[in-house]
Each structure stands twice: as C-alpha cells, then as structure tokens.
Amino acid sequence: MTDRIPIPRHVAIIMDGNGRWATQLGRERYEGHIAGVESVRAAVKAAVRRGVEYLTLYAFSTENWGRPAEEVSAIMELFCRSVAGEVDDLRAQGVRVKVIGGRERFSQRVAEHLDAIESRTADCDKLTLVLAFDYSSRSEIAAAVRQIASRAAAREIAAETIDESTVSAHLYTASIPDPDMIIRTGGDHRLSNFLLWQASYAELYFPKVLWPDFREEQFDEALNEYARRERRFGLVTDKK
C-alpha cells in the first residue's frame, strides 16, 4: 500500500517580506518585488507538481495603493512584464490564470495585460492560478451585499432564501472552492483583508521565510505541515 498524504485542493499565499528582504541587503524595496517573481514561479511549479488544483496569490491589496507612488508603479510594471513574459510557460504547464479584485483603478495598459493573461490561458486545466490584484476582502463582501440587495429589490431573489451559498456565489471567488490552507510568509500572524469569508475553515500557516526566499522546498514544507493538521470543520473526531 502506498502512503498518500492529503494534498490541499486550494492553497492561498500572502506573499509578504519583499521589502524587508531588500532592506536587509541594502537594496531598494522594489528589488524585493523583482526577486519575489522567482518565488511566484517556484510556487506555481511546486503546486503543479504536487497536484494542487487552485493556487491563489495576494499580489496587490487595495490598501497597497497607499504606498509611495514609485513603489506602486514598480509593482504594476513588474506585473505587466511578468505576465507578458510568463504566458507561454504558464500555458505549457497547463496553468489557467484568473484575476480577482477591482479593475477600475488600473491604467488601461495594466487592464489589458490582465485581460490578455486570462484569455490566453483560458483553455488550460491543470492548475488555476488566482491572482488577487487590487483585492480587499471587505470590499469584495460589500460588493456582494450590494448585488444581492439590488437583486432582491428587483425580486430576482427572495430575501428569506438568502443564505451562505448566496453570499459565496456573489464573491469574486464564486467558481473557486474555499482555500484549504493559507500561507503567510514573513512571520506575521494576520490575514490582512485576504479571503476573510473563504478562510473560515482554512488551515493557517505562518513560516518566517521572507517571500523572495520561498522556493519549492518551502512549498513542500507547507504541504507536509498541512498533512499533519487534523481538520474537524466544527465536528468531533473519532480518534482517541
């Protein structure tokens, strides 16, 4: 008999520590973001290799717009370059990209890159790479509530039938299963407005590694940690 360890269907990552990594090396913060792209490649490769079906990366939070303008434009530029440069490789690995978050604040160029990466990988089916870009969980939930309220006002939904599945179906992540594991690199223990509704039963893991130092080995360590967790979903276990 082979020993199979449980593999999370959906892993979500808060990629933290780019700025600290760069500062520790006496470099500019944006250089940490550049180095972080290599870690994104490693995480995608490891997820495909381990048979994870969904990998969500918190690439830019709505709050990140408040960072110095040079850092915001460096991240946007890096994102456009990475997206354009990686699309063939993503396709070769069978990776479909889906972007979640608000689209209104991006320049036309960034918006076009987001549309292009989604449409050029739409037929891939091995891994869904969800990029949370201009994402905030509270605004996602508020937008869902607005939509549900206006559908109720238009009598498309009866108010008394609104339940948890109605809310889930109106989030950006409507077609995506809830994350089984959320990893936050960089050692901080918080979710920072990321997938708050969806995280209800996720296993949380906070390794100290800074994101630019994250490689396939660290992904494997996270999956090994997941395999050691006992998930009860509020029920009791039959183990003594």
Of the candidate residues 30, 54, 79, 106, the single one contacting ligand FPP (CB under 6 A): 79
Catalytic residue status for 16: yes
Catalytic residue among 64, 178, 193, 213: 64
57 binds ligand FPP (CB under 6 A): yes
Task: Work out how close the CB of 32 gets to ligand FPP at its nearest, in angstroms, rounded to a whole number.
Answer: 6
Taking Cα atoms as reference points, which of 135, 131, 106, 110 lies closest to residue 121? Answer: 131
Scanning 9-17, 141-149, 165-173, 191-199 for contacts with ligand FPP by CB under 6 A, the matching segment is 9-17
Q: Which residues are 54's β-sheet partners?
A: 10, 128
Least separation, in Å, of the C-beta of 49 and ligand FPP? 19
The reply to whether 101 sits near ligand FPP by the rule CB under 6 A is no
Site string for ligand FPP, 153-192 (x = CB under 6 A): ---------------------------------x------
Long-range contact pairs involving 216-223 (C-beta distance under 8 Å, separation at least 24):
216/42, 216/43, 216/45, 216/46, 216/49, 218/185, 219/42, 219/43, 219/46, 219/47, 219/50, 220/46, 220/50, 222/11, 222/181, 222/183, 223/5, 223/7, 223/8, 223/11, 223/50
Instruction: Report yes or no: 9 and 203 within 8 Å, Cβ to Cβ.
Output: no
Per the residue annotation, which of 3, 16, 125, 193 is the catalytic one? 16
Does 229 bind ligand FPP (CB under 6 A)? Our answer is no
Closest CA to 134 of 126, 143, 125, 145: 143
Give catalytic status of residue 238 as yes or no: no
Which positions touch ligand FPP (CB under 6 A)?
15-20, 33, 36-37, 40, 57, 59, 64, 75, 78-79, 82, 131, 186
